[in-house]
Amino acid sequence: MEEKELLSLARGIIENSYAPYSNFRVAAIVETRSGKLYYGVNVENASYGLSICAERVAVFNAVTHGHRDIENVYIFTESDQPVSPCGACRQVISEFNPKATIVSYSLRTGDKVVWNLEDLLPHQFRLEDKSK
């Protein structure tokens, strides 16, 4: 998908962010190998610890729809600098693709940063292969 289209999609999705406590709105889009897109926003809770990041919602949405072949994860915020995903989200994405491409945008400035998840989360936790 073209970057311009992706950004305009994200501007719509971030409106659904539920962030009354932090006022920090986040949207995420997961793109699968076949080009399917799944969305997520951060959803906060009065019991703060129950809040969930946009990236995890997007990954769980892809998996719920039967798509585990995550290729790219796009993150959108309205902060001055693009954000990097939190440790919990890195681990969740790496379950499905430790080499996923992470692209983070500031919708305010248009700045963009690209990482490979390998660099953000080396030595991720994996359970031993139980089939051995």
**Span 63-102, contacts to ligand THU by CB under 6 A:** 75, 83, 85-86, 89
Write the DSSP assignment of 21-74 as a string of letters: TT---EEEEEEETT--EEEEE-B--SSGGG-B-HHHHHHHHHHHTT---EEEEE
- The CA–CA distances, whole Å, from 106 to 65, 78, 131 equal 28, 5, 43
Q: Which of 7, 9, 19, 37 binds ligand THU (CB under 6 A)?
A: 19
44 is catalytic: no
Pick 24 or 99: Cβ nearer ligand THU: 24
Pick 10 or 75: Cβ nearer ligand THU: 75
Tell me the residue type at 15.
E
Catalytic residue IDs:
55
Q: Which residues bind ligand THU (CB under 6 A)?
A: 19, 22, 24, 26, 42, 44, 51, 53-55, 75, 83, 85-86, 89
